[in-house]
């Protein structure tokens, strides 16, 4: 159930597949006989100096992919010198991650109806010294995810014949989960009035995503959050300009990994028009369909300032815990470095459209 949670999208998964497939139509411009020594992948992102222009995206119930998964992913990101983003719907809490890391991480926030809880959650993120707040805008209503419905996906997992059979077939996962600090939503349990057990937690969570979210709510958040503000879920140039007007420090082009609106365009196809619209007024981050370092370079060449990855590191986490996340990051870093060199670049900040031979996603004015 947890592999399918990570590995599929909503409805027919057409958006999820399009996110991946649209990268294939972009080709590089190969250059030769250039000095490729002393290559540099470092970049300043929202004021932070990071080793690679890469961020680990917020993943809900990451701690059910592998015991204490959020802590392990955060430690892997810290070791590799890149930011980690903790989800509101994480298993390990903000405090759990902060106690087990030494570098500030980012925190992702959903707009929920319980504003007292939200206010306290923002204060908790500030107390934990989170260096950025990532507000996800594209989950006002939940996309229909067929596999999650079939699997009765919950935290902790619902016990029925289907799940029992899955547990029996994965004894190593079961043994690993016995070492987990928590098996429920750590940021919520114990922090909401009248949520005292798993039944009340499930009822509260199901009712909390706020369909009335507007740009005025972003102002409400900005009044309370004093650090860097990033808005995630932008897929339209008009919304990107509204994000600039709202005073965000960065936006993340994202369609929730194809888990919300099935039939939406791929993120890579809308990247150039959004970069063109904001015209350097705000950092443009990119998420969706990244499966290699070559994909990272293609998105950077099309104007993204930074790349966020979800599934690649979750697969590594599920396979080998912290080590698996580190391996996934290292694979992408090596592929990015080698491809950049073959394109004739030595500094990641110089990558641009001139590094592409074919780009089907051009701006038509």
C-alpha–C-alpha distance, residues 77 and 154, integer Å: 27
Domain boundaries defined on the chain: 2-358
Query: What digits encode the pLDDT tens for the residues 47-79?
Result: 999 999 999 999 999 999 999 999 999 999 999
**What's the CA gap between 264 and 104, in Å, rounded?**
34
CATH class of 2-358: alpha beta
Instruction: Collect the ranges in the chain with pLDDT lower than 70.
Output: 154-155, 197-199, 202, 364-365
Place of tokens 């419905």: 149
Size of the chain, expressed as the number of residues it contains:
365
323 alpha-carbon distance from chain centroid:
19
pLDDT value at position 80? 98
pLDDT in tens, 283-313: 999 999 999 999 999 999 999 999 999 999 9
Q: Indicate if 191 belongs to the active site.
A: no
Read off the pTM: 0.94
Contact between residue 219 and residue 135 where contact means Cβ atoms under 8 Å apart:
no
With a CB cutoff of 8 Å and minimum separation 6, the contacts of 110 are 88, 89, 135, 136, 139, 208, 209
Catalytic residue among 146, 191, 256, 308: 256
């Amino acid at each position: 159930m947890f592999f399918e949670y990570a590995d599929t999208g909503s409805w027919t998964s057409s958006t999820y597949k399009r996110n991946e497939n649209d990268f294939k139509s972009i080709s590089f411009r190969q250059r030769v006989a250039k000095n490729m020594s002393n290559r540099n992948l470092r970049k300043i992102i929202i004021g932070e100096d990071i080793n690679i222009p890469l961020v680990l995206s917020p993943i809900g119930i990451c701690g059910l992919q592998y015991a204490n998964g959020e802590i392990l992913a955060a430690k892997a990101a810290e070791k590799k010198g890149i930011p980690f983003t903790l989800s509101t719907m994480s298993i390990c809490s903000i405090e759990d991650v902060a106690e087990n890391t030494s570098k500030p991480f980012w925190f992702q926030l959903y707009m929920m109806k319980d504003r007292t809880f939200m206010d306290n959650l923002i204060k908790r993120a500030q107390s934990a010294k989170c260096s950025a707040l990532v507000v996800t805008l594209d989950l006002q209503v939940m996309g229909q995810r067929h596999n999650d419905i079939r699997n009765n996906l919950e935290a902790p997992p619902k016990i029925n014949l289907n799940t029992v059979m899955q547990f029996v077939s994965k004894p190593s996962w079961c043994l690993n989960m016995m070492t987990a600090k928590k098996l429920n939503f750590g940021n919520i349990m114990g922090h909401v009035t009248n949520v005292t057990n798993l039944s009340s937690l499930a009822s509260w969570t199901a009712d909390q995503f706020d369909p009335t979210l507007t740009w005025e709510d972003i102002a409400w958040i900005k009044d309370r959050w004093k650090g860097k503000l990033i808005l995630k879920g932008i897929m339209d140039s008009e919304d990107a300009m509204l994000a600039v007007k709202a005073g965000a420090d960065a936006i993340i082009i994202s369609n929730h990994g194809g888990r919300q609106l099935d039939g939406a365009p791929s993120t890579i196809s809308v990247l150039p028009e959004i970069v063109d619209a904001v015209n350097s007024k705000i950092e443009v981050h990119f998420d969706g369909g990244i499966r290699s370092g070559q994909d990272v370079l293609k998105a950077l060449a099309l104007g993204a300032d930074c790349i966020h990855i979800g599934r690649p590191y979750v697969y590594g986490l599920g396979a080998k815990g912290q080590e698996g996340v580190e391996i996934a990051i290292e694979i992408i870093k090596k592929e990015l470095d080698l491809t950049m060199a073959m394109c004739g670049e030595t500094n990641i900040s110089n990558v641009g459209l001139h590094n592409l031979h074919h780009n089907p996603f051009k701006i038509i004015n």
